[in-house]
Structure formats: C-alpha cells, structure tokens
C-alpha cells in the first residue's frame, strides 16, 4: 500500500493530535530503518498504522483480544495496552494489511516482547522518540538512538517501567521480560 493511501485510511481513525504523532513516528521510523538496515517500506507502513485502534471503544478492543486469542492476561492490565494487538487485527481486517512482520510490529509496539525483531525495535523506539514527544529523559534516548538501537531501546523500556512504578501502577509482565531480554543480550 502506498503512503498516501495508508495515511488517508488512518487519518479517519485519529484525532488531529494523534495523526501528527503518527506522522512523527513515520518519519522517525524511516530514518531509524535506514540507519539500522530495517525494511524502510515496512517501517513506514507499520508506523502509519501503529495507533490505528487508539480511539476504538474499550469493549471492542476487549472482545477482539478474547476472540483472536491474544494473551488474556492483557485484560488484567492497563487498557492502554489493548490498542496494540487489537489494532494489528483491525488493520488486517479493515485495511487489508497482510504482512506478518508489519502486523507484529503493531502488535508489540506498546509492551515489546522478548526477542524483538529489528522492525519491532524500530517501531517501538520511533513511537517513543518522535519529535512530538516531550517526556523526561526522551532526549537521552534520542541521543542513544543515533549510536546504538538496543541501548536506546533499553532506556526507553526502563523509563516506561519506572514511570508506571512511580505512579504505583501495575506493569505488564511482557514489559519486564522485554527489559530483561535486552539487558541480558548486551555483550559487555
Ligand atoms: O499509543 P501511544 O500513546 O503513542 O504509546 P504506547 O502505545 O507506547 O502506549 C503507552 C502507554 O501505555 C503509556 O501511557 C503507558 C501505558 N502502559 C500501561 N501499562 C503499561 C504501559 N506501557 C508499557 N510499555 N507497559 C505496561 O505495562
Ligand atoms: Fe500506541
Ligand atoms: Fe503511538
């Protein structure tokens, strides 16, 4: 699917703010894909669709997670996690995206997972550092992203976990497993 067609589909699903975020993720994902050798077209497509389901009703997202056999424990954790896997399903059914690598990058863009693919890492990180993001610590991750994809990703996952813990919020186990897997894969 061409960029303009994909953007048109996604624009209808999002607020203006979220659409601008999507454009930022797209540009950032393309640049990370070029830097680290990921498939640039797949990165572009996954970025455009990554938040497709962000504004769907929670009940609809819950039903999709149950029906599509996504891990049910997702439903015990924050509903912010649901738009990622349910979004991948909706993008396939409603927008006709069939590419499994693209759909996986959408599925894991919020929690990550152990043994993330290069494309999944690119999308997770692009979502975190796109120019519209302003949370504490993001500049440090932006700088790391120019040097080392995994080190940047570790910092992003760590910041997210710490952010949740500071608010006494539960952390989805896959987020911890993502952190552990990345740290244990570091060579030094
Ligand atoms: O959809 P976006 O806002 O662009 O970003 P996202 O898909 O990374 O969603 C992040 C939100 O999800 C963030 O506000 C924190 C929340 N969240 C709740 N529980 C968890 C979680 N994020 C992660 N990574 N792990 C959790 O356990
Ligand atoms: Fe998201
Ligand atoms: Fe996003």
Q: Kind and range of the H or E element at 58?
A: helix 58-67
Percentage of residues of the chain with pLDDT beyond 90: 96
pLDDT at 187: 74
pLDDT in tens, 121-140: 999 999 999 999 998 999 99
| Residues of the chain predicted below pLDDT 50 | none
Query: What residues contact residue 122 under an 8 Å CB cut-off, 6+ apart?
Result: 29, 32, 33, 36, 38, 43, 105, 149
Go through the domains of the chain in sequence order and give each one's CATH number.
Answer: 3-135 (1.10.3210.10)
Q: pTM of the prediction?
A: 0.96
Residue identifier of the C-alpha nearest atom 23 of ligand 1? 111
Question: What is the number of the ligand 1 atom nearest to the C-alpha of 157?
Answer: 24
Is residue 160 within 6 Å of ligand 1 at its C-beta?
Answer: yes
pLDDT in tens, 143-164: 999 999 999 999 999 999 999 9
**Is the Cβ–Cβ distance between 151 and 85 less than 8 Å?**
no
Q: How far is the CA of 66 from the centre of ligand 3 (A)?
A: 23
Q: How far is the CA of 97 from the centre of ligand 2 (A)?
A: 18
pLDDT at 140: 98
Residue identifier of the C-alpha nearest atom 13 of ligand 1? 80
DSSP secondary structure, 125-137, as one string: HHHHHSTT---TT
pLDDT at 188: 61
pLDDT at 69: 86
Q: Tokens in use for 86?
A: 């349910």
Is residue 1 within 6 Å of ligand 1 at its C-beta?
Answer: no
In angstroms, rounded to a whole number, what is the distance separating the alpha carbons of residues 73 and 149? 29
Dihedral of alpha carbons 65, 67, 73, 76, sign: positive
């Amino acid at each position: 699917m061409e960029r303009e067609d994909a953007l048109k589909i996604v624009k209808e699903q999002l607020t203006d703010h979220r659409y601008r975020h999507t454009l930022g993720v797209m540009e950032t994902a393309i640049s990370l894909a070029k830097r680290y050798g990921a498939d640039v077209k797949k990165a572009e497509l996954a970025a455009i669709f990554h938040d497709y389901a962000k504004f769907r009703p929670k009940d609809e997202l819950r039903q999709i997670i149950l029906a599509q056999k996504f891990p049910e424990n997702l439903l015990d954790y924050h509903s912010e996690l649901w738009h990622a896997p349910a979004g991948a399903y909706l993008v396939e059914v409603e927008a006709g995206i069939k590419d499994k690598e693209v759909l996986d990058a959408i599925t894991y863009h919020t929690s990550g997972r152990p043994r993330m693919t290069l494309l999944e890492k690119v999308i997770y990180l692009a979502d975190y550092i796109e120019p519209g993001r302003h949370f504490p610590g993001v500049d440090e991750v932006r700088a790391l992203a120019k040097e080392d994809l995994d080190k940047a990703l570790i910092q992003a996952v760590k910041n997210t976990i710490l952010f949740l813990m500071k608010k006494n919020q539960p952390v989805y186990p896959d987020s911890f497993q993502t952190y552990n897997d990345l740290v244990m894969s570091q060579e030094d």
